[in-house]
Structures are given as structure tokens and as C-alpha cells.
Chain A
């Protein structure tokens, strides 16, 4: 792979991770949001795959396949199951409307670039130049969690947030040591699984997964 091709592929894949996070704010049907999150997971894996090929790091190529399977297939699959189990595929109002959400996400992207200026300045590789995208995706994940009142959407927000961190991990350092990577992956998997278990408990106890019903506990 030559340098130009590498930079182009990397930018497309990393850019796609950000674009999908905007799309998740924009789409209104839960199934569509879950699919977009799956695409994000695949794009994230593609970032790791491209870097692995370019730097001839077989370990990273292997990790990228694992990431693709986990974040592109398994976790979105879990979420889709939760969506289908709930029979509430039609969305759902958000605390803010779509234009406001997209505007906020653009603002968060700018903040991500501003906040990581000193980090990006440390290196001039194309990977590190794209690193603020990961921070932006993380912040947009938080925005999704804060503004949406459906349990499944908060799960997707948590997953998006983790995708953002993983993007920073691959762009910044070609991944953390493998043992840590495996630990992180299994923790994310477990957390997602338990979130799904809790979603079904919420549905059993409250008759739906609208989080506005969760208001028994307060001071």
C-alpha cells in the first residue's frame, strides 16, 4: 500500500466513524440507528485493518478482525434483539430536535479538535491528525445518552462512546498491548450484555423502556 492510498483509505474509514455518529442522531427508527452503529463498528475495524496492513503489524490486523466481529456484528446484534423484543421500533421523542442535535454534535466536534490540539501536535502522522475524530465520537455518544429517553438508545450511546475511545486507541498508538485490549473488549461485551438484561427487566417492571418512567428514586 503506498502512502497516498493509505492516507485516503484511513481518512475515509475514520471519517465514516464520525459520519455514522451524526447519522445516529438524525435517524428516528430504532432499527435504523442500530444498523448505523453496526456500520460504525465495521468502519472502526477498517481503520485498524488499514493501519495494520500499512505498518505490517499482523497483531493489529488480527485485532481489527476481532473488533469488526464484536462491534460490527455481535454487539449491534444484541441491541437489535433488544429492539425487536420490545416491539417499539418507532421512535421516540428526543429532548432536543434533530437540527439542534446535529448543531450540538458539530459544536462537540469543534470542541474535540480544540481540546486535543496539544495531543495532535506531538506527531505529524496521518493517524494522529485524525485522532480528534475519536474524541468527537465519544462526546457525541454522551450527547446521545443525555438527550434520548429510550433504554436501547442509551445502550447505543454507550457503545458509540466506546467506539470513539477505540478509534483514539488505534489512531494514536496502533492499539494498546494485546492483553489490555482483550480485557477491554470482554468488559465492553459484558457491559452491553448486562445493559440488555436490564432493558428487559425495565420492560417487565415498567411496561416499556421509556426512561422517563424511572423516577421512583429521588431526594
Chain B
């Protein structure tokens, strides 16, 4: 079984190598989708095994998959499948309109797979140093994805993303190094002193004063990379300039990876320092993220930035659930990661088609989309409803659970703030969506050559499947309930 942990990152890594040598052509363009489906399949296999017989380790304990890791692998597989299937159609259109070159299309395919390979390492590494290296690798790969179009705006976005991302991730490294120092000082063996499972075991013996400093760095660092306010300013630029499939992957899975890292460290901190330290930090970041997201979504004029701020909102909600920290809250946080991952990757894919159809990312440049592009309009509308937490989608379930857990835990005031803010976001998104979807095309004229653009059947099937899965989990949580609860037990206090 431990072989699967080794194979897991090799699947996307080899796919990247094949595309790098073979180029982006008919024979290779579907390999990324196959690779992501394989990753998802391995995730399900590992999940079944973990639920039967406990965590699996590899490489003398440096890698380890527990229920949480398996759940994350499945999420990477699902979001990766949506994003990579859409890349095929996206790059085909870009190549047909000479918006990109075969060389850049190849680079795009390679980088998407490298990002997925690095994410697979993130969620299987027990060694927190290896986890950091993998997260930094995703940053480097996605910077080039953000810069794919090479125009002024995307160069600006990738610069800001790499500089602020580097500062954030470096801060997390400083925290990781200090955790290693504290662990060694309490008698940890050099080969396991940075391993998560060993740190959890020895957490009661770690020096609280020094660990507090270390955890401060870790939370600020990974919080920046996850897109939590106040250090979120790179995010709207990066997500809005990234090509739609890359934005789908980043918003759906990558930001969740940093949140995952943060939650792993939180387990150690909660045992060693008591709950209140991390809770205070996360609560502040969560509420600030929600308020920031709401205020910028109300006045937003760009639909990709609107979705980007929706990511800040949902990362804030996950941080809020993590701050509560009870088993119910952690289950809700994980369910929220899945719901956000599916809905956000579908929504960003839809914006790619919208951009091709209308030639603009401005909200007021899109009118009567429902009339002109019924499929894309419906997909975008449904994914927005999912993100707003309407039934039957799973975000409703996770949001209700966060509310219940928060009230039960004496954080009713924070929940009240969150609900007011979410009401504002609800109204804002609804108004923006109605403006884009309803009405007649009227003043906004569609460029005639792009009206020929049709969304391919594969893309339609993939996007609909993504929404169907999100709805199915919302209606009955049964297929993943055992995995979800076991994974939440790993994280809950």
C-alpha cells in the first residue's frame, strides 16, 4: 500500500515530462485529465485502506497518509480533473485565435501537472520541511501560470504574486525552522524532529514560549499563501490574470493546501499551547477576510475578481471553522473545502468561456448571457448559487454546521458578524449575477468572430459533473461521511 504514496506524485510528474518532451498535441492533451483521474482513484483507494487499517507510511515515516491526507488527495484529483479537462478546450481556443503559441501551451500543460504533483507531496508529507518545499514549489509553478498571457496586467500580477508569495512562504519557513529548533531542544531525534506525527506525540513536552513565536510565523506565512486578510492583496490580481483553468486549480485546490498546512500545525499548537492562541489569530484573520471580501465584492466591476474575493470569503469561513475547532466545526471546515473546491473550479472554468464569448472581464460588459450562451450562463449561475450556500449544494450544509458549532462553542458574536457579512455578499453577488445573466444583450455588443465559439461537449459534461457532485454531497453526505469524520478527528481538539 505504501507503494501508492510513492506512485501518487509520480503520475502527474511523469505526465509533465511526457508533455515537456512531446509537446501539447492531440496525443498528449488528454493525458493531464487521465493523470488527475488516476490521482483521484489513488486517493479513494488510500481512503478505503486508511479507514480499514489506519494511517499508511512510506520512506521510513517521512511520508504518511491518514484520513485527512486521503480526503485531500481526492479533492486534488477532482479539482484537477475539472481544471485540466477545461485546459484542453481553453488552449484549443487560444491556439486557434493565435492568443498563445504551441510553445506556451506546452509550458502551460507542464506547469499544471507540476503543480498537481507538488500538491500530492504536500498532503502526503509527514515531514513538515518537505511539506514546505512542496508548497514553495507550487508557488513557483503557478507564478508562471499566472504570467501565461505575458501582457502588462499578467506580468504585474505574477510579479506581485511571487514577491508577496515568497515573503509569505518564507515566513512559514522561518516558523518551520523554529518548530524544528524547539523540537530538537526537547530531545527530538534529528530524523523525526520535524515529522508531524512525532511532533503531535511530543507536543506536551515542547516549550510553550518558544513554540508560540514559531507558530506565529507559521500562521502568518501559510495564512498569506491561503489568501487570508490582511495579506491577501496578491490574490485578486493573480486569480483574475491567471488563465481560467489555472485560476480554477489555484482557487479550487491550491489555496486549500496552505490552509491544510496551517491546520496541521494548529493540531500541534493546540496541544502544546492550549486552544486560545491559535484561535485568537485565526478568528481575527477570518473576520477581517470576510469583511474585506464583502466590501470589495459589493463594488466589484470585474467578474473574475468577484470570484477571487469569493475565495477570500470562503478561506475566511474555513478559518472561522478552524478557530472554533470542535469536531463538528472541523468536519464543516473540511466539507467546506470540498464544496468550495468543486464550485469554484467550475465557476472559474465558466469565466474562461465567458471571456471567449464576450471578450471582456468587466461585469457591465456582459449582458443577457442567459439568452446568448444558455449553457455557460446556467453553469456560472448554479456555481454562484452553490458558492452563496443555497440548496442543494454542500456549502449550505457546511455553513449551517459552522453556525451551529460556533454557537455551541460560545462564539455566537463572531457567527453573528459572519452572518451579516455573508448577507451583504449574498445580495452583492446576486445583483452582479442578474446583471450579467438576465436581460437582453442590448448595448453590449458581442464581437462577431467570437460568437462562433462553442463550448465543447467534454467541457459541458465535466462542468455539469462537478456541480452534480457538489449537489449530491449536499443532499446526502453518506458516501464520504466516514472519511470526513475520521479526517476531522485528526484535526479536532
Contact = CB atoms under 8 A, between A and B. Distances in A.
Interface of A: 115-119, 121-123, 135, 138, 142, 145, 151, 154, 158, 161-162, 164-165, 168-169, 172-173, 176-177, 179-180, 183-184, 187, 190-191, 194-195, 198, 201-202, 205-206, 211, 214-217, 219
B144 A205 contact: no
Given A118-B209, A145-B163, A165-B177, 5 more contacts: A119-B210, A121-B209, A142-B167, A164-B174, A184-B133
Contact of B173 (A172, A184, A190, A205): A184
Interface string B372-414: 0000000000000000000000000000000000000000000
Contacts of B133: 180, 183-184, 187
Nearest to B135: A187
A155 to B, nearest CB: 8
B191 A177 contact: yes
B177 A162 contact: no
A173 B173 contact: no
Given A183-B130, A187-B136, A172 B178 contact: yes
Which secondary structure characterizes the binding site on chain B? helix
Given A198-B159, A206-B152, A217-B241, A191 B140 contact: yes
Interface string B251-277: 000000000000000000000000000
B213 interface: yes
B140 A162 contact: no
Given A194-B144, A217-B153, A202 B159 contact: yes
Nearest to B238: A217
A173 B184 contact: yes
B129 A183 contact: yes
Given A122-B207, A194-B143, A198-B147, A205 B174 contact: no
Chain B: interface size category: 35 or more
B184 to A, nearest CB: 5
A94 B194 CA distance: 40
12 contacts: A151-B159, A162-B170, A168-B181, A169-B177, A176-B129, A176-B180, A177-B127, A180-B133, A183-B133, A211-B159, A215-B156, A217-B157
3 smallest A-B Cβ distances: which pairs?
Answer: A118-B209, A183-B133, A180-B129
Contact of B140 (A161, A180, A183, A187): A187
B240 interface: yes
A206 B151 CA distance: 10
B289 interface: no
A201 B150 contact: yes
B185 interface: yes
A158 B166 contact: yes
Interface string B197-224: 0000000000101101110000000000
